[in-house]
Amino acid sequence: MDSNTGEASDARRAAIITALREGVRRVDELADCCGVSPMTIRRDLQFLEEQGAVRRIRGGAVPVDTWTFEHRLGRGAEAKWRIAEKLLPLVPDQGGIGLDGSSTAHHLALALQSRTPRDLTAVTTGLETFHRLSRIPGVRAYSTGGSSDVDTGSLVGPLAQLTLQQFALETCFLSATYLDPALGSTEFTAEEATVKRAMVTVSKRTVLAVDSTKLNRHAVAKCLGLDEVDLLVTELAPDDATLTPYRELVEIL
């Protein structure tokens, strides 16, 4: 029988909010995540809606608020720093690079502060990343502009795409909501996927950086096939068994 009392209910409802913030929306998916019945999830969603924490939609719910960038930056920080250390040697001293609005790409911008590029142009869809890049000597930083994606905080939309068309970049550094061997990278929203594809279009090389918690999962919006990715970077060693499904599909660092 499903538990609906005391600490178990509180813990489950906290897990539901976490899952909603990570992009899970449907009642059946929430039930799988929490190991309870859909009926229990519906009762929890009703309770959470009455508390003002979620808004129910057909077949599921959405969070009323979204995680702040600072919260996302702190999640899995150790893995993201290891990824940034691998990415840093791939950044040239001059030329052009692109960074998406992910917290993983932001860690690369933070790591770049340890270097002094000669004449590096960096364009990004992340406002926080733009502000960080603009403080680094030798870096000419550009923000794409656009509207803020409500789920990710990244800049998206026609203005962001139009801005990217003005650049010819050597390398773009992207992350993903999730990565699946068959589906490739996926995002919470089609708008996020579209602007990332626009950055790939103007870049000679595409580096996809994801921590291992994002592997073998997928969100709703397809973004890049692994045949469109030149290099996959995780915090894991390239020969780690977790990466076996990807090893014949893409070069791994």
* Structure confidence by residue, pLDDT tens digits, 57-70: 888 888 776 555 66
- Has residue 59 been placed in a domain? yes
Q: What percent of the chain has pLDDT over 90?
A: 66
Q: What is the mean pLDDT of the chain?
A: 90
What pLDDT is stored for residue 1 in this prediction? 39
Structure tokens at 89: 């040697």
Q: What average pLDDT does the segment 47-66 reach?
A: 81
The number of domains in the chain is: 2
What pLDDT is stored for residue 65 in this prediction? 61
CA 159 to chain centre: 20
Q: What is the largest CA-CA distance in the chain?
A: 64
Structural domain harbouring 172: 71-247
Which residues, other chains included, contact 97 with Cβ-Cβ below 8 Å and sequence gap of 6+? 91, 120, 121, 122, 123, 169, 170, 171, 172, 173
How many whole angstroms separate alpha carbon 121 and alpha carbon 136? 11
pLDDT digit string, tens, across residues 75-134: 678 999 999 999 999 999 999 999 999 999 999 999 999 988 899 999 999 999 999 999
Q: What average pLDDT does the segment 1-23 reach?
A: 73
How many whole angstroms separate alpha carbon 249 and alpha carbon 184? 10
Q: What average pLDDT does the segment 21-38 reach?
A: 87
Matching residue, tokens 């009703």? 46
How many whole angstroms separate alpha carbon 22 and alpha carbon 13? 14
Beta pairing class for 119-124 and 139-143? parallel
What pLDDT is stored for residue 71 in this prediction? 62
Residues 40 and 129 in one domain: no
Cα 174-133-107 angle, rounded to 5 deg: 50
* pTM score: 0.78
CA 85 to chain centre: 18
Burial group, residue 127, by CB count within 10 angstroms (0-12, 13-18, 19+): middle
Residues 230 and 124 in one domain: yes
Average the pLDDT over each of 2-11, 176-185, 204-213, 232-241 and give the range with the smallest value: 2-11
Q: Name which residue leads in pLDDT, 173 or 59.
A: 173
- Has residue 33 been placed in a domain? yes
CA distances from 13 to 21, 84, 89 (A): 12, 34, 43
Residues 134 and 193 in one domain: yes
CATH number at residue 201: 3.40.50.1360
pLDDT digit string, tens, across residues 205-225: 999 999 998 999 888 889 999
Give CA torsion, residues 211, 54, 219, 18, to 10 deg. Answer: 20
